[in-house]
Structure 1
Amino acid sequence: MDSSYIMLIVMVVVIGGMMWWQSKKSKQQQQERQDFRRNLQPGTEVITIGQVIGKVVEVDEQYEEIVIDSEGSKMRFAFNAIAREYTRPAYVSDDEVDENGNPLSEDANESDDSQNTDDSAQVPVESALEQAETKTATETKQQNSGESK
């Protein structure tokens, strides 16, 4: 046999194996989604494929429909419209962590507050703007005088 035939056979086997593995994985994910939708109970918080968030009120398995309550509005969806169970993401304020994302201690928060109350180091906005404009004008004059020489 020629080496090109062997290479062709190896490639066909590899591609066939990848297709079989993807098919198996896809069927498993589809089965998991169906099981999730079939086991939905009233009170479960879900999110739809249209990003509507609400709590399950009623499940109608005969017609494969589900009713959710989203802030007082009841809506009826097909089972296939339910994307997943909704879990609210954790929120951390920038004031609660340092620049590396590590939580700040309570003592550090109190010392930051005491530093912020010291007004002697702060410059009023108007004077800061005037200083910046003066500096920019001076630099422009220096550049223009340097170009004219």
Structure 2
Amino acid sequence: MEYAILIVIVVMMFGMMFLQSRKAKQQQAERQDFRANLQPGTEIITIGGVIGKVVSVDTEYEEIVIDSDGSQLRFAFNAISREYVRPAYVHDDEVDEDGNPLPQETDQVAQEPIEAEDGEPAQVVEEVEAESKNA
């Protein structure tokens, strides 16, 4: 009985190690593919958080030059983290205090009927139909 538990634990450890190494190899292959396909003009972010556009790529010495707000910096390939994608932030005037999006203002006709001065519903004149008849 004790040996069965020990065998199960050992098998699970080897299984986790196998899955972890497979995932690490896949991530390494993705990084190498990304670095091999770097082109000038691509926006990147380094492992130190420097954001800039690729100016030149030197595959012989595995170096890359980026332009960050007018400053040209030279980095090794290993310092490149990933391609930079600017996050889409929601402005405070687009959400209520609970973080829910506010309804968008549109040019649609009001849903409630408009009443005339005498309390009767007012007649709605469609300007679009009148313009199309005149044209």
Give TM-score, length-normalised by structure 1: 0.67
- The structure that is helix-richer by fraction is 1
Count of equivalent residues: 106
Structure 1 residue 103: Cα displacement: 2.5
For structure 2, the 5+ residue unaligned runs are: 106-135
Q: Secondary structure at the match of 2:7?
A: helix
1:121 is matched with none
Query: Deviation of residue 106 (structure 1)?
Result: 4.9
Select the residue among 18, 33, 36 that pairs with 2:34: 36
Which of 86, 89, 95 is matched with 1:88 structurally?
86
CA distance in 2, matches of 1:8, 1:85: 45
| Corresponding position of 1:56 | 54
Shift of 1:96: 1.4
Percent of residue pairs identical: 72
Aligned residue runs from structure 1 range 1-16, under 5 A:
3-16=1-14
Q: Using the alignment, how far apart are the partners of 2:37 and 2:104 within structure 1?
A: 44
Question: Which residue number in structure 1 is paired with residue 68 of structure 2?
Answer: 70
Over the aligned positions, Cα root-mean-square deviation in angstroms equals 1.5
Give the residue type in structure 2 aligned to 1:34: Q
SS of equivalent to 1:88: coil
- 2 CA distance for matches of 1:23 and 1:105? 48
2: distance between equivalents of 1:50 and 1:17? 34
Which stretches of structure 1, 4 residues or more, deviate above 6 A after TM superposition? none
Q: Which runs of 5+ in 1 are unaligned?
A: 108-149
Question: What is the CA–CA distance in structure 2 between the aligned matches of 1:10 and 1:104, rounded to whole Å?
Answer: 54
1:102, CA displacement in angstroms? Answer: 2.8
**Equivalent residue for 1:142?**
none
CA distance in 2, matches of 1:28, 1:97: 40
